A and B are shown apart, each in its own frame.
Chain A
């Protein structure tokens, strides 16, 4: 019975966060894309960058879902993990509190941005309004990530016999995990959103043919995706180096790295046989040592250094592998697109290429999900590493099972509402019609650019 509540608590949290993070990622990344597109449009005086306006309109819908699921997770943390929040509240409440201000700030300016497209003579003023939105969403991601970092590398307090003392909220916020985590979460959000918008543009080109509107969207977003994709590889590498240093059991579990050794191999995919030996794997000699310490001969700590009941489940290996492979694929696809574009005799808008770009959209979101599952399950059995286990943090309420299905139903409904509303929104109001309404006079200039 006891075990069941803990498992259900985990499942509810995983479900809510897994759902929220889709919208949170969009909430962090898309404002930047809107900001970039509007800026390019103003600079080039190109009306096709009305795409900023159309993205913003779709964005509002995902924000609505982001806000309701965010409110849900915020309350659920206390409802499902009352013991955890009682302790964590004393140490890490500050960034949670500041996050609300960041939301507030973002919400206010988003409201203003959306309803003032035609209210200023100088379009730059309207563009300036997008900056607080970008900054606000960036800071909400930073603040919440510091909370998660704290759970991995707790800092800023002393715990003696159940009593907390010498609390230092700033130290708790800037715990060891914070720099690499914030860096990686931000770059992966920007990457994911650029890829998402590029995938949508590619999908429209496949469906309706290459209009210059969609071509511009595709070019712009793939360029952004390439840049952030490359930075994201760097930030992922930083995260791995952080793990090797400060949370070695998480990295070792992901790599099926049982024995502490020098010149450790990187293991991709495969499975574990009865004797817990990696089988059918792709082995890259010395690469794990390199990933961990930038040196092929360095020593990487293995699972043998930890008591068995303090190591995470070994299936996180797949989560890590999928995330990392997708990370490479995303960069490769955007790079390949520009190579084809440069080589005049190749067509970067061929059907296979477009299909590939379309498929990167869902892949990027999968990488985000895999990444979080890896990060969270890889912390097992701890909820606050070294201080409180997940089982100690959970609620004792007997109604969790019912709540699980209630929320499952809710998320299904929300997903359906979100998707139908978005498709309706864009179907009812195709680009061509909107361009005509916005710029009726300049009709002849339809196909000038590109």
Chain B
């Protein structure tokens, strides 16, 4: 495997990791606000804050890792996406910043003001929506280079069914993943009342999830024939994805093995996400940037891979310690520590 293939694979895995961890976080924000509206917050919020407080910074680093990594491995992306994304990415930054400061406020602030809870809930939906724009742009047709200047076609972006279907898919997936994770966590914490609520959410969001995935799929076929047929060649990955989805729904419906159900959902997204990514190959931005043209020089590629391996050797034991102390320490989960 050439080093740029290693690079893009690693980055794609990290992006997948971010999507899962961040979805849990973003969706939880929305549910926390929703619980407050429906006056169920006393049950839910304890659960949410115990899980989220220790790990939110780690979630953010996943994101930083992805964008620093992609610029490192593929410096041309900085040029095209950097110029085109100034506005959408700035909006994402601002939303992320509002959300980040929520944790500061929430942990120590005197009272949880309604405005802040609202912002926390709303950013949980708007951030995935604004970040998903980058995926839409990569399909081509929205970023144009003319006379050496790169620009973003706002009108086309806002009138495209593709961009809206991806936005909807992003939001619904966030809610679905998050609800499933919270079911698992509530079950572990033996918090039956919360479990009842979040299990209901998971079942509820399952159907819109699969419908919006189909819609986005159709939209891609209209917009980028090449990408669509590549994905169709990977029909078995997509089939697996649907299979995992059904297993997860069945388990949650039966009210059993929530851990397994969540793993199933992770696999559902893993397979779909890789079918999407492999289908996209070799483009990073259709039709301007391909993986091989954009790749950095060999020395840097090699250096980055070595740094990456070194970094993992350092991080994996540390992450295991973190998980051992918080996520899988039964007493902590139950709120005794």
Contacts and interface: CB of A to CB of B under 8 A. Distances in A.
Contacts of A96: 68, 71-72
Contacts of B308: 97
Interface residues of B, number: 66
Interface stretch (B28-36, B171-179, B249-257, B314-322): B314-322
B303 A169 contact: yes
Nearest to B324: A112
Interface string B184-202: 0000000000000000000
B124 to A, nearest CB: 15
Contacts of B103: 64
A391 B104 CA distance: 38
A132 to B, nearest CB: 8
Interface string A75-95: 110111111011111110110
Nearest to A414: B101
Contact of B303 (A64, A68, A88, A94): A94
A112 B68 CA distance: 25
Interface string B60-81: 1101110111011101101111
Contacts of A168: 299
A70 B79 CA distance: 20
A108 to B, nearest CB: 5
A107 B98 CA distance: 19
B314 to A, nearest CB: 6
Given A68-B96, A78-B82, A169-B303, A417 B101 contact: yes
Contacts, number: 212
A425 B108 CA distance: 6
Given A97-B304, A395-B83, A397-B83, A167 B72 contact: no
A414 B105 CA distance: 11
A100 B101 contact: no
B41 to A, nearest CB: 21
Nearest to B311: A101
Given A82-B79, A94-B303, A75 B61 contact: no
A116 B54 CA distance: 11
Interface of B: 53-55, 57-58, 60-61, 63-65, 67-69, 71-73, 75-76, 78-83, 85-87, 89-90, 92-94, 96-98, 100-101, 103-105, 107-110, 149-151, 296-297, 299-300, 303-304, 307-308, 310-311, 314-315, 318-319, 321-322, 325-326, 337
Given A67-B60, A94-B303, A104-B311, 12 more contacts: A61-B108, A71-B64, A79-B82, A79-B90, A89-B71, A96-B72, A104-B315, A107-B58, A169-B300, A397-B151, A399-B87, A428-B110
Interface of A: 57, 60-61, 63-65, 67-72, 74-76, 78-83, 85-91, 93-94, 96-101, 103-105, 107-112, 114-116, 119, 132, 164-165, 167-170, 395-397, 399-400, 402-403, 406-407, 410, 413-414, 417-418, 421, 424-425, 428
The 3 A-B residue pairs with the shortest CB-CB distance in the complex, in nearest-first order: A89-B75, A93-B72, A82-B82
